[in-house]
Amino acid sequence: MKAKSKEKAETQDISELLTSPQLDLFIATGRAASPKDELATMEHPVYAIEDGDQRILSYEHNGQTLEVTPSVKGRATIHDKDIVLCCVSKLVDAINHGQAVSRTVSITAHDLLKFTNRSTSGRGYYLLEQALDRLAGTRIKTSIATGKPARRRTKAFGLIDAYEAVTRGPENRLEELRITLSEFTFDATLALEVLSIDPDYFKLRKGTEKRLYELARKHCGDQGRWKIGLDLLQKKVGSRQPLFKFRAAVRAISEANTLPSYHIVFLHTDDSVVFYGRNEAGLSAMQVDAIAKTPATRSRRKAIREPDNAS
């Protein structure tokens, strides 16, 4: 009886937090926050995987539509997304600690750069502001639903609504940022439609690597195995390369074997890709999988047993 009362009280506390008036400004603290990613943008290619992408992206999958229009400064990239993920991670951490939150997040530029494993040099601050411009300028029109209850409607918005940069000193050094997230992102954050990600995600420097990790994290998760055809994988990644070049890129990433938490195995037999977790479940999946008989997969099985050599 006491357990039920406690559970009811906790549910009421969370309900009150999510339905109470929001703050005008949420000030992110220096408290360590577990990195999170948004489920909706993990599944769909909202962000460009290459710099300078000026094309309008039209995407449809299982009845969900997505149109992304870049600004004159280009479409926001998967690396620009790190800024949004930092804000989302800080908000989720605050929600988990029972704090009220806001769509507008105040954070020091230095903390944001450190969280996303970026350089804190002068150029690092310059590139940060360029990324914010692309996020604010890129427009998205989608029927993808977020929030609870899920609201499915076609809606257009920026990847962030706005940002304000506060500078200090004669060199106008970027000091504080106030970033207003889109309602799309904020609703998903309040509904905790997020997944924890490996901090080493922010060390990945290739856009394709980041997208492969996101898809593996969402579909393979902590399970052992996830298989997908190469053509569908290319669609989900958002690559505009010819298929043979994308195939070569995936094979190169597979051979490098440096993706956090997951191994990638390319299957020549049916032009598909298998993701295996770097854990016991992944090893078990390899042991019962036909691909485990190939030399390439045997080397990955050995790497799972020796995690220090497979970072």
Segment 127-185, tens digit of pLDDT: 999 999 999 999 999 887 766 665 556 788 999 999 999 988 777 778 899 999 999 99
pLDDT(16) > 50: no
Residues 157 and 108 in one domain: yes
Section 180-206 average pLDDT: 96
Res 10: pLDDT: 40
For residues 41 and 94, membership in a common domain is answered with yes
- Give the domain CATH number at 231: 1.10.10
Same domain for 97 and 142?
Answer: yes
- Entry field: residues in the chain: 311
Instruction: Using pLDDT thresholds of 50, 70 and 90, give the confidence band for residue 6.
Output: very low
Q: Residue range 178-204: average pLDDT?
A: 96
- Quick: pLDDT tens for 299-308: 455 555 544 4
First-last CA distance in the chain: 47
Same domain, yes or no, for 98 and 142? yes
Is residue 225 located within the same domain as residue 290? Answer: yes
For residues 190 and 101, give the distance between their C-alpha atoms in angstroms, rounded to a whole number: 9
Which of 196, 225, 256 finishes a domain? 196
Please check whether residues 136 and 16 belong to one and the same domain. Answer: yes
SS3 24: coil
Q: To 5 degrees, how large is the angle CA 202–CA 58–CA 194? A: 35
The verdict on 289 and 151 lying in the same domain is: no
* Shared-domain flag, residues 177 and 256: no
**Residue span of the structural domain in which 240 resides:** 205-309
- CB 252: neighbour CB atoms within 10 A? 13
243: nearest Cα among 203, 272, 282, 285: 272
65 and 147 part of one domain: yes
- Joined together, the tokens standing for residue 196 give 């924890």
Residues 60 and 187 in one domain: yes
User: How many domains is the chain partitioned into structurally?
Assistant: 2
Instruction: Indicate the average pLDDT of the chain.
Output: 86
Single out the residue in 169, 196, 223 at which a domain terminates.
Answer: 196
Burial label for 120, CB within 10 Å (0-12, 13-18, 19+), is: middle
> Does 214 share its domain with 190?
no
Q: How much of the chain exceeds pLDDT 70, in percent? A: 83
**164 φ, ψ to 5°?**
-130, 130
Nearest to 47 by CA among 138, 161, 172: 138
Residues 178 and 212 in one domain: no
Average pLDDT for 70-92? 97
* Confidence band, pLDDT 50/70/90 cuts, at residue 64: confident
DSSP codes of every residue in 109-176: HHHHHHHTT---SHHHHHHHHHHHHHHHH-EEEE---BTTTTB---EEEESEEEEEEEEETTTTEEEE
Query: 82-127, pLDDT tens digit by residue?
Result: 999 999 999 999 999 999 999 999 999 999 999 999 999 889 999 9
Query: For the CA atoms of the chain, what is the radius of gyration?
Result: 21
Structure tokens at 215: 């898809």
The SS3 call for residue 284 is: helix
Q: Give all strands of the β-sheet with 64-69 in edge-to-edge order.
A: 57-61, 64-69, 139-142, 155-158
Show which of 196, 228, 250 is a domain's final residue. Answer: 196
